[in-house]
Amino acid sequence: MASQRPAQHRSGAAGAIQLAPVSSVNSSRPASQLPPTSPPLPAAPSIHSTSSHGPNAAAQNLPLLSQSAAPLPASKGERFNQGADRWLARLKQAKHDRLFVYLTVFAAVTVIINIIQAACLDYLHSLAWIVVFPAVVLGAMVLTVFLTMAMSAKELLGEWHATEVPDRVARLGVVLSILLPVFVCEFIYMPLVAIPAWHSIRWTTSLRVESPTLFPAVVVAVSQQPAFLAAYALAPSSCEVILTTGNSSFCQLSDVQHTSPVDYANDTIEYDYTIFNPLHQTAEGATYAWDAIHTTLSLGFTASYTPIDEIQTIYNQSQIYIGFYDATLPFNIDDFLAGCRNPDLYYKATQRSSDGGGGDFYPGIFELSDSTGELRDSDTESSATICSSDALALRDYTYYGGRFDPSPLPAGCSPVFGSTTTCGWFLSIHLQSSLATTQRSSRGTNTLQILIDEGSILGGILFFTWFFGIFVV
């Protein structure tokens, strides 16, 4: 028992020694009784040392040089192969996306057809050109695309099923953004909106100041009835432009012209007429004729009437026609007497030789600009047999309205049986305003408006289909 206690003491002491500082251990025990220390770490190998593994062991312990060194440049053959691989990948991608290539071509052809339709709408606005022609072209293109894509239908279906849902929706949006504008613009907007709007005619009225202001041309015609052996002689006697200051300038009337006999209501009528045209004046007269505001044009005539029996003094008197028209137009006696065009080319007032001698005319200036030809076409249908082709071809012309106040027959000018009555009478034109009323026709739409409308349709559809691809971003 006594021999075991020291061992226990040492055991307890050893446990205490493990917790004691090193200095206290060294002082209380000899070095031979200290606990063994941990084995030393092996020394790092030296590149100069040789071991049992051979002289290459040092090289095996070095870091890999290839991890830090630059890669070797590829050879020409490798670069060629890499470029070929890239082009093959692009061709493969194009093969996969050939449907969208076809749709792009489809849309381009449709846009070209649509622009041509809008630009040529004034000449080609039939249903066959607007609907049937694009339908045939687009149908042929759709059939071509269908037959081409049918040969790789299984491959396309496989790609479709392998595609995620957001990508499917995005591709559907691309298809709709191409096909919807084509369908809406070509087969809904053009035949149902653009064409009806083009056929509707709009008339607008505007006022403008005409400067310089031109007097209207004036014609005075007298009917003759040779069957009754009546004679009414009309001859110009004076032509004068009078200013508000009282100054005046002389002008000229044309020589009296005689028409060929015209059969009318089982009778033969001839006409004598004379014309005042401000564009056909001398230099002195033209000075006033081109500045007609607040001036008066005074035309004087000598009228002689010789009835051969008493009945003619009552029933068979000659007619006097006074007309005003655009001075830039050539005068046509047949158009004047027939009252051609709507509005009339000639403002016409009528007097009987025994009722009056001239009068005062207060003209209003009007201008017609019928760019659509709507009035011309209607006049051609109704008056093609009585109006000249030159009159029916006019789209833009000036015409005159206003008030004509006839003057009473001068004293001593009543026809008397058995004698010739000669007297003078005057015609005065008072132009007091330079305002011209312009009436202009236009279509309900035009090329620019059609393209703007279709651009709006395209923008709306693209805004809608944009949401199909928003989940792919």
Backbone angles phi, psi at 132, to 5 degrees: -65, -45
* Residue 430 CB burial class (10 angstroms; 0-12, 13-18, ≥19): middle
- Of all residues in the chain, the percent with pLDDT exceeding 70 is 66
What's the pLDDT score for residue 204?
92
Distance CA 161, CA 28 (A): 86
Distance CA 100, CA 97 (A): 6
Distance CA 438, CA 368 (A): 6
pLDDT digits (tens, 9 = 90+) for 422-452: 777 889 998 878 889 999 999 999 889 999 9
User: Domain coordinates of the chain in residue numbers?
Assistant: 91-200, 209-442
Distance CA 321, CA 358 (A): 10
pLDDT digits (tens, 9 = 90+) for 18-27: 434 444 334 4
* Residue 258 CB burial class (10 angstroms; 0-12, 13-18, ≥19): exposed
**Weakest-pLDDT range from 147-161, 183-197, 269-283, 424-438:** 147-161
- Mean pLDDT over 281-299 rounds to 68
- Mean pLDDT over 226-245 rounds to 72
pLDDT digits (tens, 9 = 90+) for 322-380: 999 999 999 999 899 888 888 899 999 888 766 667 889 998 899 999 988 888 877 77
Q: What is the mean pLDDT of the chain?
A: 74
Is 275 within 8 Å of 331 (Cβ atoms)?
yes
Distance CA 421, CA 305 (A): 5
| Helix-, strand-, coil-residue percentages of the chain, each rounded to 5 | 45, 25, 30
